[in-house]
């Protein structure tokens, strides 16, 4: 019997652990870089112009601007090796924009990041990119490892991509709804209504977590024996 470790179980890479590492790193980068006081008026103006071109659209065109763009980013992150570099480039670039926006608004960029974290779409979108990049690593592992589980691992990768498509589509719907509320209503309702979206978002996020756990543990490929591990991560998130 092969020994288990943080990243491996019975000799197989634990995808869920790869995701957790990448997601924590992603959040750490956002917090660290957005905390900096960066100045770039040209970058800020370009960002605001692009943002304005999207936010002035009606619901469906706005959604069709947000969702395909985010899916393209995640699809690139699925590409082995390239996706890993693109992931960090994308996270760092977005963090810089947040920092610059904070500077232009005469507030801390970290406050801008935390304001984004108040809304549901952030907690749907950010994990999607970590999953996509984790899949990039998992594809490399699968191609190198091969063996008897090659087909089941490739099947898992396919399910992961479909999951990311679903999660980003849901994130796009929530983000579009938040923007519509923010741009349609006056204070304080432009903040209250987007926050009310947490009511439908909570069960949706819980459902997506359950679906992700099933994919991450290869639940679609085979039945697993009951886990008796005392691992605190498994106790919290399930076997991943």
Query: Which tens digit of pLDDT belongs to each residue from 182-197?
Result: 999 999 999 999 999 9
Q: Which of 212, 147, 215 is nearest to 2 (CA)?
A: 147
Q: Tokens for 42, please give them.
A: 């040209």
pTM reported for the whole predicted model: 0.90
Q: Which residue has the higher pLDDT, 26 or 233?
A: 26
Q: What is the number of helices (H) and of strands (E) in the chain?
A: 10, 2
- What number is the average pLDDT over the span 197-215? 97
Q: Which of 109, 91, 92 is nearest to 100 (CA)?
A: 109
Give the C-alpha separation, 165 to 155, whole Å.
Answer: 16
Evaluate if residue 2 carries a pLDDT over 70.
no
Q: Parse the chain into domains and list their residue ranges.
A: 11-219
- Count the helix, strand and coil residues of the chain and give each as a percent rounded to the nearest 5: 75, 0, 25
DSSP class of residue 149? T
Give the C-alpha separation, 186 to 189, whole Å.
Answer: 6
Give the C-alpha separation, 129 to 27, whole Å.
Answer: 11
Residue pair 112/102 in contact by the 8 Å Cβ criterion: yes
* Tens-digit pLDDT profile for residues 127-151: 999 999 999 999 999 999 888 889 9
- What number is the average pLDDT over the span 146-173? 95
Distance (Å) of CA 24 to CA 17, 18, 36, 122 = 11, 10, 19, 14
Q: Which of 7, 23, 26 is nearest to 15 (CA)?
A: 7
Residue pair 121/171 in contact by the 8 Å Cβ criterion: yes
């Amino acid at each position: 019997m092969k020994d288990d470790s943080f990243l491996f179980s019975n000799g197989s890479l634990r995808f869920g652990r790869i995701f957790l590492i990448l997601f924590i790193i992603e959040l750490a980068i956002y917090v660290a870089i957005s905390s900096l006081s960066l100045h770039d008026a040209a970058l800020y103006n370009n960002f605001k112009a692009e943002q304005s071109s999207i936010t002035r659209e009606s619901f469906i065109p706005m959604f069709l601007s947000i969702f395909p763009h985010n899916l393209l980013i995640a699809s690139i992150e699925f590409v082995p090796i390239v996706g890993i570099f693109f992931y960090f480039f994308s996270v760092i670039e977005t963090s810089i924009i947040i920092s610059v926006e904070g500077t232009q608004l005469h507030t801390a960029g970290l406050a801008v990041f935390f304001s984004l974290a108040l809304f549901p779409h952030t907690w749907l979108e950010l994990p999607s990119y970590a999953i996509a990049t984790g899949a990039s690593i998992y594809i490399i592992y699968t191609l190198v490892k091969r063996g008897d589980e090659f087909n089941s691992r490739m099947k898992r990768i396919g399910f992961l991509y479909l999951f990311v498509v679903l999660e980003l589509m849901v994130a796009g719907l929530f983000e579009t709804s938040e923007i519509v509320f923010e741009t349609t209503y006056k204070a304080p309702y432009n903040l209250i209504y987007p926050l009310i979206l947490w009511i439908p978002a909570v069960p949706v996020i819980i459902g997506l977590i359950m679906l992700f756990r099933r994919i991450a543990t290869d639940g679609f490929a085979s039945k697993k024996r009951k886990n008796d591990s005392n691992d605190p991560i498994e106790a919290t998130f399930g076997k991943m």
